[in-house]
A and B are shown apart, each in its own frame.
Chain A
Amino acid sequence: EPEVTQTPSHQVTQMGQEVILRCVPISNHLYFYWYRQILGQKVEFLVSFYNNEISEKSEIFDDQFSVERPDGSNFTLKIRSTKLEDSAMYFCASSAWEGFNTEAFFGQGTRLTVV
């Protein structure tokens, strides 16, 4: 069964460092998302991406965040200068098309710990 894969599963980084979280969406999907879940809190939307551009972003997704689809398969989230409060589980998701009946498939998540 096709799946969304994320790497690494766990990343520890020093405050102020840049991190890149990687995702390989399902191959024929067109819409890509990043979500974040701070420990003990609900999952929050960060950004959606379609046709090589951001289609929507939340107020969390400030200038220190960026997303990219550098080739035909990877979808990355970059955090330029990490802060302690960026520590969270980051989930990538993809869906085949835009429409009410579209299912989203989630990766297993990357646990980011900023120290």
Chain B
Amino acid sequence: KNEVEQSPQNLTAQEGEFITINCSYSVGISALHWLQQHPGGGIVSLFMLSSGKKKHGRLIATINIQEKHSSLHITASHPRDSAVYICAVRSRTGGATNKLIFGTGTLLAVQP
């Protein structure tokens, strides 16, 4: 079983729609990251969360530590939001080295 699960795996939306991508994890974590990967392959960090909620522009990320669940929301989606969105967690282990454990990603396509 994967330590980090994302849903859905693929998501197609119409421009302007509100989008939610979910992430569940099974390990104790010290932080959770939401990352964006464009077709060229580069990875960009969107958020790092250890509790609560963060907002940046049209993006909102929430985390519920007790339920081991996080969501990434995109409001007023736009075709330029089309990318793979990846959830990754930093496992809280003894001698932690900050390595990230990645989910499989959610491929988002926003159609005009």
A interface, CB within 8 angstroms of B: 31, 33, 35, 37, 41-45, 48, 50, 55-56, 89, 91, 93, 95, 98, 100-109, 111
Contact = CB atoms under 8 A, between A and B. Distances in A.
Given A43-B102, A104-B100, 12 more contacts: A31-B97, A41-B104, A43-B100, A45-B99, A45-B101, A55-B95, A100-B30, A103-B48, A106-B35, A106-B42, A106-B43, A107-B42
**Chain A CB within 10 A, most for which of B31, B50, B95, B97:** B97
Interface residues of B, number: 27
A100 B41 contact: no
B42 A108 contact: yes
B44 interface: yes
A28 to B, nearest CB: 16
